[in-house]
Amino acid sequence: MQKPQARVLVRHIDDHERRRWWCVFAFWLILGLAAGTARAADHEELIVSHGYSFYGNLSYPADYTQFNYVNPEAPKGGEIAIGAVGTFDSMNPYSRKGRAPGLSTIMYESLLGEAPTASNVDPATAPADVLGELYCLLCERLEYPPGKEWVIFYMRPEAQFSDGTPLTAHDVGFSHNLFLEQGLKSYAEAVKKRVPSYEVIDDHTIKFYFSDDISRRSLINQVGTVPVFSQKWYEETGAMLDESRLEISPGSGAYMLGAIDINRRITYTRNENYWAKDLPFNVGRNNFDTIRVEYFGDDTAAFEAFKAGEYTFNVEGNSRRWATQYDFPKANAGQIVREELPDGAPAVPTGIVFNLGREVMKDKRVREALALAYNFEWTNDSLQYGLFKQRVSFSQDTPVMATGVPEGSELEFLQSLGDIVPAELLEEEVRTAHTSNPERLFDRRNARQAMRLLDEAGYTVSDNGTRVGPDGRPLRITFLFNAQSSASARGIFENYVSNVEKLGVDVNFEVVDGAQFTSRRRDRDYDLIFGGYYPILEPGTGLRQLFGSEAAEYSLFNPAGLASPLVDQIIDKALLAGSKEEELAAMQALDRALRYEFALVPVWYNDDHWVAYYDMYGRPEKMPPYFLGYMDFWWFIEDKAAELRSAGALR
């Protein structure tokens, strides 16, 4: 099909633009999403829809009035205050430079909407009761052919920025290009190959063209979830996307930036003139007048501030504190509610990440030896009060989690890849976590196995008990750790390092402040780090940023620098899956291959949200499975807040 000439503006992507950077949350790159009803036009069936899911299965009809889990009668008003550990010196979350505060993307919306009040512990998804579906926000409908060679978004004419200026298709095109020109290199390179041009048809219509002979995965949702900025503001101020700054462009979202006190607090205020407040997408949502984020130097200080009432909602991640430290007057008096709410979202694949760019980490035997020093059973029982489960998979407890020996469709998929698949991947059980003695930190059986592996890798024990390589140099590694992490986390990894040292390895457990940690993590200046990846659920081009060889040297989303021809081939073929059955087989194979490549030591996960909050908030009786949403669809109860203030429970 020949592309029509642009009526207003056509932007083509030049090769030299591939050298620029971009930094933005990539979760929405991983999802594979499309949908709707059809009509005839130009002798071709076009799909016209109010949302997008790759196989066309939208749960909400075009005339939906609200998401199923929200309370449409939820009152508006009040404040929710949360705590954060660390510092911030910039309001630009899309730059590699500086440190942006929590919720600094809250002001911005996209064509296909997501939860605006997502945080690191509460990842974005809207609606929160489905996976793999997106619904129109800035747009009112989208249109595309069955082959998905292009997509047209028809925007809502009433959309506007918080300064009252219209939000148009020109702003959408400008924002798309801004990320390609000034954004993260791995993102820009991936998108330019797949989205060669766009056309602003009129003020409220924009068309994106996709490259030929590529997978159609993640193309429509990619262009549909780019945050939209004000072109007018950027051009008038001369601001750059990749710079640290406190000044922000006006956004179109429900919340605007309020007050900033650098490194202490930041507030966001609800825009009473928010253009989309009455859309079905937003019914029962965006209920708080103010969202406040209080900053603290460490985890202990933050918790003491919560007890004192300096902030009012705490998502707990410290098992020791959850088990032992909520026995204080306000909690005992019922002024603070403590709940464990089911978390149906896939567990984030966190662990002790190996930097595969370091020579010592390229030998899998070394990595396996270092892994054997981690004792989950002792750690969980002795330091985490038995509250966690051990994660083994990149898609833990989901249908795409690989199990046992490959069989059926997954086996056929792997066999179709040819000789690149190792025989053991086809014939042996999927790699799982080792077991350890829960009674003692240093498991001697695992230690003996680890020592044999190090011997085989050429690292023998010298006269002084340290491991040395064939060149006679000691085996030294650096474990980079963030000083602003909890004391419990520090204790866990100090114990791990102690076990590694008993193997004869010289370990530098380097504790650095948050700013240094961020900088060195970005530069991949470590041998080991506590980090992770996004869960894998569906095929998407974002998988190449996470696990692909092409961007392995510099992708911020691939902390191990994993570069595997096997994984590359699985991703490529997964993107061409033509049915749910093929997709399931491909993703199971990907999970199996990632575990085989062994880029990180899996640690623990929790399938509940641990929350504690002052008893002045309401929530839906039936919570959605994939999103806690406490800043999204919970609400403030003034009468209860007045009682707490009267009792002196709140400051």
Residue 345 burial (10 A CB sphere; 0-12, 13-18, 19+): buried
**Which pLDDT value is given to residue 20?**
29
223 vs 3, 286, 490, CA distance in Å? 18, 25, 40
Integer Cα distance of 93 and 103 in angstroms: 9
214: left (phi over 0), alpha (psi -120 to 50) or beta: beta
**Which pLDDT value is given to residue 446?**
98
* Cα torsion angle, 123, 126, 131, 136, sign: negative
Strand, helix or coil for residue 515: helix
Contact 411, 428 (CB under 8 A): no
Beta strand segments in 558-626, E: 600-602, 604-605, 608-614, 617-618
Which residue pairs, CB below 8 angstroms and at least 24 apart, start in 273-276? 273/162, 273/164, 275/158, 275/159, 275/160, 276/109, 276/137, 276/156, 276/159, 276/252
Q: Closest Cα to residue 592, out of 354, 366, 410? A: 410
> What letter would DSSP give residue 2?
P
Contact 330, 624 (CB under 8 A): no
Integer Cα distance of 490 and 466 in angstroms: 24
Q: Which residues of the chain have pLDDT under 50?
A: 1-43, 119-123
Contact 284, 71 (CB under 8 A): yes
Q: Which residues lie closer than 8 Å to 567 by C-beta, 6 or more apart?
A: 547, 548, 549, 590, 593, 594, 597
The total number of residues written for the chain in this structure? 651
Q: How many C-beta neighbours within 10 Å does residue 332 have?
A: 10
594 vs 360, 402, 537, 601, 608, CA distance in Å? 20, 10, 13, 12, 26
**Which pLDDT value is given to residue 217?**
84
**Which pLDDT value is given to residue 649?**
95
Beta strand segments in 408-502, E: 460-461, 467-468, 476-482
Contact 379, 388 (CB under 8 A): no
* Cα torsion angle, 279, 284, 289, 291, sign: negative
Q: Output phi, psi for 127, to 5 deg.
A: -70, 160
The pTM (predicted TM-score) of the whole model is: 0.85
Contact 620, 70 (CB under 8 A): yes
For residue range 277-327, what is the model confidence (pLDDT) as tens digits? 999 999 999 999 999 999 999 999 999 999 999 999 999 999 999 999 999
Contact 259, 291 (CB under 8 A): no
* Residue 178 exposure: Cα atoms within 13 Å on the Cβ side: 26
Strands 506-512 and 336-342: unpaired
Tokens 């995965």 correspond to what residue? 217
CA dihedral 453, 457, 460, 466 (to 10 degrees): -80
Q: Closest Cα to residue 629, out of 202, 285, 170? A: 285
Integer Cα distance of 447 and 44 in angstroms: 65
**Which pLDDT value is given to residue 51?**
97
487: left (phi over 0), alpha (psi -120 to 50) or beta: alpha
594: left (phi over 0), alpha (psi -120 to 50) or beta: alpha
Query: By 3-state DSSP, what share of the chain in percent is helix, strand and coil, each rounded to 5?
Result: 30, 20, 50
Beta-bridge mates of residue 113: 135
Helix 444-456 / helix 364-372 crossing angle, nearest 10 deg: 160
> What are 643's two structure tokens?
């009682």
Integer Cα distance of 482 and 298 in angstroms: 11
Strands 290-296 and 79-85: parallel
For residue range 43-89, what is the model confidence (pLDDT) as tens digits? 468 999 999 998 888 999 999 999 999 999 999 999 999 999 989 99
**Which pLDDT value is given to residue 567?**
98
Contact 216, 150 (CB under 8 A): no
**Which pLDDT value is given to residue 578?**
83
Q: Which residues lie closer than 8 Å to 220 by C-beta, 6 or more apart?
A: 33, 34, 52, 142, 144, 148, 151, 208
Delineate the domains of the chain, giving CATH numbers in brackets: 9-58+84-237 (3.40.190.10), 312-344+610-651 (no CATH), 350-363+380-433+475-605 (3.10.105.10)
What is the widest separation between alpha-carbon atoms in the chain?
A: 81
**Which pLDDT value is given to residue 12?**
28
Q: Closest Cα to residue 102, out of 123, 88, 116? A: 88
Supply the Cα-derived Rg of the chain in whole angstroms: 25
| Number of helices (H), then strands (E), in the chain | 19, 28
